[in-house]
Structure 1
Amino acid sequence: MSTALGSRFDFTVPPELSARAPAEARGVGRDGVRMLVGHRNTLAVEHHRFTDLPQVLRAGDLLVVNNSATLPAALTGRLPDGTAVALHLSSAEPGPLGTHLVELRSAPDVPGAAAGYYPPEAGPARAGLRIALPGGADAVLGEAFTARLRHARLTLPDALPAYLARYGRAVRYGYVDRDWPVEAYQTVFATVPGSSEMPSAARPFTADTVARLVGRGVLVAPVTLHTGVASPEAHEAPYAERFTVPATTAALTGHVRAAGGRVIAVGTTVVRALESATGPDGVVREADGWTELVITPERGVRAVDGLLTGWHEPQASHLLMLEAVAGHALLERCYAEAIEHRYLWHEFGDVNLLLPD
């Protein structure tokens, strides 16, 4: 990612602010997490619980959500010399080369620990390396895609979703206290399997929250974007991901804006999908395919007025997108407030709602 953004946002997240378990395991409901609301026009910030969302939004606003469901995309494998490794599947569908993207990680030495990170110059990954997988499957690594990800050809005994359901587990990183079932990584909108990691901005939504939003006149519409792995140790720019913007959702964004409502994306994945389907004229159209779009403050946003998102690391490429939506001044204030008031980071943590006014 651009180093300029990292130098402009100089903050440190104390380790104790990592959410180590789902909200439910911490004694609060999914919708009981905290929500910091920031307003771009005034730079005002407000501290809320997520249950306040129906009162914070206005009748006629549109929430666009990602309906991608999380796959148990982490597999245990073995190298030819018998060394145990972890393979994180980053693309649920093969790309143009007929290969998937994978990240090879070290298997934990301690039972229940998270897989470790191989620095690019020190890991065993190389083209032609065969990794034996459970159930007689295997993966043969191909050329590097990034310093962390490689192409791989998978040979499986079953279709991929069935195979992962039997042998896979949810991808997790060291800040999470233990393996949680994949159900902990699903959102209330999850209906289309395909994500390697949860589209986590939508995790606090519950059926009750959605009902109260609809009851107050807030609209909800889906897109699909299947996420790849987003290792916290390597902050490269986002790469190609599969997305779909239905015709009904595309049309609704135009109707809402024409009526004076606001289009609010639930998660950076939704921003990427909507902006990938938006022409230079600002009109969102039905779209389906792979997107390589990287959203920066210089590029700006055309389809989105606001964003509900989690909290991101100082060098995360998502901060470029957040600045495009919220502006530098508001984003800087929100992160200072979040650290001062001990908001929790990562997929099981608290959220940030960025509004234009």
Structure 2
Amino acid sequence: MSKMATAPLTFSLPEELNASTPPERRGLRRDHVRLMISDRSTGASEHVRFHQLDQFLQPGDVVVLNSSRTIPAVLRTEDREVRLARRLSDRHWDAFIMGKTVQAGEKLIFSPALQAEVHRIKTPLVELRFSLSDACLLEQIYALGEPIRYEYIHQPWPLEYYQNVYASEPGSVELPSAGRAFSWEVLFRLKRRGIHVAYLTLHTGLSYLSEELGALPPEANCEYYHIPQETVERVSQAKQAGNRVIAVGTTVVRALESDWLRKAPHEAKAGWTCIHIDAHTPLRVVDGLMTGFHEPEASHLDLLSAFAPPESLRRMYEEAIQLRYLWHEFGDIHLII
């Protein structure tokens, strides 16, 4: 039996609420952005600064972070802009090519040290086969690339502004932005209060492609994840003890909910998640979600509706707009718990 479609959350977002500048360039520490905390049951919200997060969690809670590190995923030839979308193997990537169309077998030259062949046309993506692989390929991507930015970012910013402080494994083509406000001070404060911090890795793909691919089968919009054994055990213990699991970002929700405890309940897990989560999806692991604010009708809002009924979610967003919260990766944070 197919699920009923979820009505898109539509609202009018004033242009000035699109955060175009990193908070550090606005004279604000990254952990001093605003934090809206919404109750899943009542829909009521509180409004504080992010560095006060520990006051709103409980000892025994587990905060799960995505340790993926952002790469500069925009590469350029003489006449094309190539946006890496997701890594397929040691030298194969799906990519979105802007500018002139390409044909299978065509060569793209990024520099004397790096070229790629159009291996396959997938529409709207193409699969590229690079001339280098693994660490050598990554080295050239860092040397030649620049961070992906969208129209609300009016000028280029260095890659450091697109990194989370705890990120360790390169692979995300966009910043897993829900974790951007964390500082080492906030993480230490959580641990001192008995709130556990755990990590997994899911390399994020192009967010706007999730809209392009929305009508295609779920396997067309998959992302690779790895959950280490330590995190599996920490989350399992929390669930057994009746404590809460807080996912930092929609990527963490997708990873944790994809194949949880189906086999070997205390072993590391890895694979491709193709899950689409919406209001009709029962959440088996995650109890709370920390995320940024998403644009009208974005597919991420489907996932948020698994945590709060759509009408309640609409009221939260109307309140955020009224109180002038800022949107996107350089903006403010929303905790639904």
Shared fold (TM-score greater than 0.5)?
yes
Say if 2:259 is the partner of 1:277: yes
Amino acid across the alignment from 1:192: E
After superposition, give the CA deviation of every residue in 1:97-150 in whole Å (9 maximum; x if it has no partner): x731001124xxxxxxxxxxxxxxxx5244333322123422222444343x22
- Alpha-carbon displacement from aligned partner over 1:30-61 (angstroms, at most 9, x marks no partner): 01111111101122111111111011111111
1:212 to 184, 189, 198: 189
The one of 238, 250, 254 equivalent to 1:268 is: 250
> d(CA) in 1 for partners of 2:266 and 2:258?
9
- Give the whole-Å Cα distance in 1 for the aligned partners of 2:206 and 2:19: 18
Alpha-carbon contact 1:99-1:151 (below 8 Å) kept: yes
Q: Secondary structure at the match of 1:353?
A: strand
1:222 to 167, 190, 199: 199
Is 1:169 matched up with 2:164?
A: no
Q: Any conservation in 1 of the 2:67–2:201 contact (CA below 8 Å)?
A: yes
The offset of 1:231, in angstroms, is 2.6
In structure 2, relative to structure 1, the CA distance for the partners of 1:188 and 1:126 (3 Å cut) is: same
Q: Which residue of 2 aligns with 1:90?
A: 85
The corresponding residue for 2:310 is: 328
1:62 — aligned with what?
A: 62
Map of 1:192-341 to 2, 5 A cutoff?
Answer: 192-231=169-208, 234-237=211-214, 239-279=221-261, 286-341=268-323
Return the alpha-carbon distance in structure 1 between the equivalents of residues 76 and 279 of structure 2: 39
Give the number of equivalent residue pairs: 329
Q: Give the letter aligned to residue 166 of structure 1.
A: A
Task: Specify the alignment match of 1:114 in structure 2.
Answer: none
Work out the CA distance in 2 between the residues paired with 1:311 and 1:3.
25
Query: How far is 1:212 from its partner?
Result: 1.0
- Distance in 2 of aligned mates of 1:50 and 1:284: 32
SS in 1 for 2:77: strand
Q: CA contact under 8 A between 1:277 and 1:286: conserved in structure 2?
A: no
Deviation at 1:258, TM superposition (A): 2.2
SS of residue matched to 1:188: coil
1:194 & 1:160 partners in 2: Cα distance? 12
Distance of 1:297 and 1:254 partners within structure 2: 24
Match of 2:137 in 1: 160
Query: Counterpart of 2:321 in 1: which secondary structure?
Result: helix
Cα deviation, 1:264-322, whole Å, max 9, x if unaligned, reads 000011111111231469x6853112221222222222110000001112221111111
Query: The residue matched to 2:165 in structure 1 has which SS?
Result: coil
Alignment partner of 1:326: what SS? coil
**88, 99, 104: which one pairs with 2:97?**
104
Q: Is the 8 A contact 1:38 1:330 kept in 2?
A: no
Quick one: which amino acid aligns to residue 215 of structure 1? R
> Residue 154 of structure 2 aligns to which amino acid in structure 1?
D
Q: Answer yes or no: is 1:352 the counterpart of 2:329.
A: no
Given the alignment, which residue of 103, 111, 115 partners 1:138?
Answer: 115
Distance 1:233 1:8 in 2: 14
**Secondary structure class of the residue paired with 1:213:** helix
Deviations 1:320-341 (A, max 9, x none): 1111122323311211111111
Read off the aligned partner of 2:73 and give its amino acid letter: A
AA aligned to 1:217 is: G
- Contact 1:74/1:87 (<8 A) preserved: yes
CA contact (8 A) 2:173 2:205 kept: yes
1:155-186 superposed Cα distances (whole Å, 9 cap, x missing partner):
23872211112111111112112111111111
Q: Structure 2: which amino acid aligns with 1:159?
A: C
Letter in structure 2 aligned against 1:137: L
Equivalent pair of 1:278/1:284 in contact (CA under 8 Å)? no
Task: Give CA-to-partner distance per residue, 1:171-203, whole Å, 9 cap, x none.
Answer: 111211211111111102201111111111000
SS where residue 86 of structure 2 aligns?
coil
Q: CA RMSD in A?
A: 2.4
Q: Work out the percentage of aligned pairs sharing the same amino acid.
A: 40
TM-score, structure 2 as length reference: 0.90
- CA distance in 2 between counterparts of 1:177 and 1:232 reads 21
Q: With structure 1 as the length reference, what TM-score do the two structures score?
A: 0.85
Equivalent position SS for 1:166:
helix
Task: Look up the match of 2:22.
Answer: 22
The equivalent of 1:72 in structure 2 is 72
8 Å Cα contact 2:86-2:94 kept in structure 1 = yes
Q: Is the 8 A contact 1:36 1:47 kept in 2?
A: yes
Name the amino acid aligned to 1:154: F
Deviations 1:46-83 (A, max 9, x none): 111111101111111110000111111111113xxxxx
The CA distance in 2 between the partners of 1:333 and 1:284, in whole Å, is: 39
SS at match of 1:159: helix
